[in-house]
Chain A
Amino acid sequence: MRQVYLDYSATTPVKEDVLKEMIPYFTENFGNPSSLYTIGAASKEAIEKARTQVAKLIHAQEKELFFTSSGTEADNWAVLGAADTLKAKGNHIITTKIEHHAMLHSCEYLEKHGYEVTYLDVKPDGRVDPEALKAAITDKTILISIMFVNNEIGTVEPIKELAAIAKERGILFHTDAVQALGNVPIDVKDLGVDLMSISAHKIYGPKGIGALYIRKGVKLSNFIHGGGQESKKRAGTENLPGIVGFGKAAELAGENLDSHVAKISGLRDYFIDQITSKIENVTVNGSREFRHPGNANLTFEFIEGEAMLLYLDLRGIAVSTGSACSSASLSPSHVLSAIGVPVENIHGSLRFTVGDFTTKEDLDYVVTELVEVVNKLRNISSISKTKGW
């Protein structure tokens, strides 16, 4: 059976060139980078090379990049560190309703500890209204955190414009760019952001390694305490192979950005066209214009997402759903809810994300199977266009 992976926003496979670069750092070049002897120094050198590679991808200085265990840790560090550093100045944080849980749950934690958080609404296409951001700022606002690219609907936010608003008011600006990295051009200086979270496993690098960009001059309380690694800002023996892999993945992502975007956006558009022409009552969620090049978030009316996901899985196709029934909390996607998708339609949403290894033949196979799956489930369904509910 054909196997088609269409969940590149969840994670990506490690590219062979990345893996090759990493392997010696598990076995031969395993020295602790904090050690003074030769193999330790070699490890330290490898980390600094990777730092240069990753920094280059986002146009940062090497000294502004700090490796973490994940994008989640970077998000946590940014928001909790900023809240702690700036607590004398204020206790108000602004974010959006469509952030990743790494941000939302960090904010909920802070709310339990005396901070106030404004969760901005977004427009139906998922974009933040700059005027709404301006209106939400108070004298107590210490941090604005708005994600660069949404992980579910792929909407690209106007980060440069939003960061400028923050800068004008002297407020720290953080963006979770985990989904943006390698899929949209990023220049931290041009964007004017103070803090940025990124992760390796979304750009064909390994899992378990992320980074936080901290603009030179920004003070941020430490989140992980211990030794003096990462310029005494993030303790813990470095994930050496992971960092090396992140570096190589970043180098490749930078070299191939244009061709990568052209390829996957073409495939994504082809896929959406095929689906919407062959299946009735399908809607595309999020902005068509400002969108992650590989993201197609679609609602299939009258049927439920987990059931679709299961049928597709049995046909070798891996996708993701915003349906409540696939989640432990039984809460439907907060992102689709925030952009106004009716709850009954949220249950029938699937996220397809194409990537570097996707082919047109893969998508043709998925379309064929999906037509069959949707028809089968609609035949079983107790609701329909004609019946309503």
Chain B
Amino acid sequence: MAMYNDKVMDHFMNPHNVGELENADGSGTYGSPVCGDMMKIDIKVEDDVIKDAKFKTFGCGSAIASSSVATDMIIGLTVDEALAVTNKQIINELGGLPAIKIHCSVLADHAIKSAIYDYAQKNGKSYKGLEGFDPDADEDDHHDSCEVE
């Protein structure tokens, strides 16, 4: 479909890292079915490095593609490096998203941070990249909040 570029379509049709991790070290969910997009990301962390990540997404083509590429991007990164991943980098990695779909990349960005937040909470860790992060913020109006990103 002309709306999406080939890379977005490839990630949508053949998404990487679909599923859930047993005994995940961190698990984060962002968005809501009411908004039309909800993303769940699980991470496995060893020595502060994200060794594995899986996702499950209820959402449109770009939400699934954003989830796929975001999990690809954070596997192998340190937690600090993963926290530094922005929605703009996710968009760049996808080769661009239509303006109306930018919120999908924000969803992926927030789901990553939510998973790391959960990991930090469970392990008594604190990360600079999580300062001020509220995993429950703006779930109901993330479409609107994304427009200013």
Which chain A residues border B37 with CB–CB below 8 Å?
Answer: 304, 325
**Chain B, interface SS category:** mixed
Contacts of A310 in B (CB 8 A): 1, 4, 9, 12, 60-61
In the complex, identify which listed stretch (B26-34, B80-88, B89-97, B112-120) lies at the interface while the others stay far away: B26-34
Residues of B within 8 Å of A313, CB to CB, are 1
Chain A residue, CB-CB nearest to B32 = A389
> Is A218 in the interface zone, CB < 8 Å from B?
no
Q: Pick from B15, B57, B59, B143 the residue with the most CB of A within 10 Å.
A: B59
Q: Which of B1-37 contact A (CB under 8 A)?
A: 1, 4, 9, 12-13, 15, 18, 29, 32-37
Interface residues of B, CB < 8 Å — how many?
A: 30
> Closest CB-CB distance, B18 to chain A, in whole Å?
5
- The one of A311, A326, A330, A382 in contact with B143, judged by C-beta atoms closer than 8 angstroms, is A330
Cross-chain contact B29 with A382 (CB below 8 angstroms) = yes
Interface contact B56-A325, CB-CB below 8 Å: no
List, in ascending order, chain B residues with CB within 8 A of A347's CB: 33, 36
Residues A389 and B38 in contact, CB atoms below 8 Å apart: yes
The docked-state distance in angstroms from the alpha carbon of A313 to that of B100 is 20
Q: Are B1 and A381 in contact (CB under 8 A)?
A: no
- A312-351 CB mask vs B (1 if < 8 Å, else 0) is 0110000000011110101010000000000110010000
Contacts of A306 in B (CB 8 A): 60-61
> Given A304-B36, A382-B29, does the pair A330, B100 have CB atoms closer than 8 Å?
yes
Query: A13-48 interface mask toward B, CB cutoff 8 Å, 1 = contact, 0 = none?
Result: 000000000000000000000000000000000000
Q: Within residues 49 to 65 of chain B, which ones have a CB less than 8 A from any CB in chain A?
A: 55-61, 63-64
Q: By the criterion CB–CB under 8 Å, are B34 and A380 in contact? A: no
Q: How far is the CB of B69 from chain A (nearest CB, A)?
A: 14
- B59/A343 in contact, CB under 8 A: no
A379 within 8 Å of B by Cβ? yes
Please indicate the chain A residues that have their CB under 8 angstroms from the CB of B59 in the complex. Answer: 304, 307, 325
* Cα separation A306 to B61 with both chains bound (whole Å): 7
Instruction: Give bound CA distance, A380 to B58, whole Å.
Output: 7
Sample of 20 A–B contacts (CB below 8 Å): A304-B37, A304-B58, A304-B60, A307-B63, A310-B60, A323-B60, A324-B35, A325-B36, A325-B37, A326-B60, A330-B100, A343-B34, A344-B36, A347-B33, A380-B15, A380-B56, A381-B58, A382-B40, A382-B58, A383-B38
